[in-house]
């Protein structure tokens, strides 16, 4: 049969055309309320303009299929592709709400855990009365968002709209703290927090989201670059 003689290769497209196709696919994906994954098939006309042939909401998953082939071109092996699909489904039950007074302990525990991750001593990581007062005030001000899975707190975002940073002009949303419960990490929730920050920024008339990242924390640097952040400036230190 003819289909046994078919083979596929990555299309050689100009970068600007590839970027435009990706943006169009993302827009159709959102407009049609697709979930988790999809495959879009195009064909160029004689004028060189691509036409959408099919928006496939359930392309086959099998290893060696077109979806896994394209995932490989994007740098993802088959196992990674499957993990990304499953993570998208697992996080579909995610919802956001404003933090309440009874969320204060969860927020403080997250603050202390973040400090431990940064390598601080147990004494330095522990929350103080000042921390408790600060985050109680943030919760009361409505600038802490709780991410829930199945109605249980799994992560949170603390932000500010009145923070000042050198060399940052115009209105921006400042990310004070993000935290994902240890048992919930690796599910894409960090990206969901940053997507929520971007939504809040747009809603508040801000043009950008700003966060501080230590260059020594290579994992955090890689994550922020992956979700669209670019470095602004670097702080140096010298021991004396």
Query: Residues 165-220: pLDDT tens digits?
Result: 888 889 999 999 999 999 988 888 998 999 999 999 999 999 999 999 887 778 88
The pair of structure tokens assigned to 206 is 């801000």
For residue 215, give every residue at least 6 positions away whose Cβ sits within 8 Å of its Cβ, in sequence order, or none: 221, 234
Q: What confidence tier does 150 reach under pLDDT thresholds 50, 70, 90?
A: confident
Tell me how far apart the alpha carbons of residues 175 and 84 are, in angstroms, rounded to a whole number: 26
CA distance 112 to 125: 5
CA distance 41 to 67: 11
Residue 46 DSSP symbol: T
* Residue-averaged pLDDT of the chain: 91
pLDDT: which is higher, 236 or 41:
41
Identify the band that residue 93 occupies on the pLDDT scale cut at 50, 70 and 90.
confident
- Nearest to 141, CA basis, from 120, 154, 160: 160
Residues 6+ apart with CB under 8 A from 145: 96, 97, 98, 99, 156, 157, 159, 193, 196, 200
Of 90-94, 101-105, 125-129, which gets the smallest average pLDDT? 90-94
């Amino acid at each position: 049969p003819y289909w046994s003689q078919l083979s596929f290769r990555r299309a050689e497209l100009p970068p600007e055309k590839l970027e435009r196709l990706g943006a169009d696919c993302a827009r159709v994906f959102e407009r049609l309320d697709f979930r988790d994954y999809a495959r879009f098939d195009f064909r160029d006309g004689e004028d060189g303009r691509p036409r959408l042939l099919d928006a496939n909401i359930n392309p086959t998953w099998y290893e060696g299929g077109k979806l896994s082939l394209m995932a490989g071109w994007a740098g993802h092996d088959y196992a990674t592709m499957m993990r990304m699909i499953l993570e998208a489904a697992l996080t579909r039950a995610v919802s956001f709400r404003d933090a309440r007074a009874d969320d204060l302990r969860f927020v403080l525990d997250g603050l202390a855990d973040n400090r431990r991750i940064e390598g601080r001593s147990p004494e330095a990581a522990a929350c103080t009365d000042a921390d408790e007062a600060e985050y109680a005030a943030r919760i009361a001000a409505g600038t802490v968002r709780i991410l829930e899975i199945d109605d249980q707190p799994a992560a949170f975002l603390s932000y500010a709209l009145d923070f000042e940073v050198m060399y940052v002009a115009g209105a921006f949303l400042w990310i004070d703290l993000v935290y994902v419960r240890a048992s919930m990490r690796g599910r894409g929730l960090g990206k969901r927090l940053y997507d929520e920050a971007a939504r809040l920024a747009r809603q508040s008339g801000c043009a950008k989201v700003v966060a501080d990242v230590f260059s020594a924390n290579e994992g955090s640097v890689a994550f922020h670059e992956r979700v669209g952040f670019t470095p602004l400036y670097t702080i140096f230190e010298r021991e004396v």
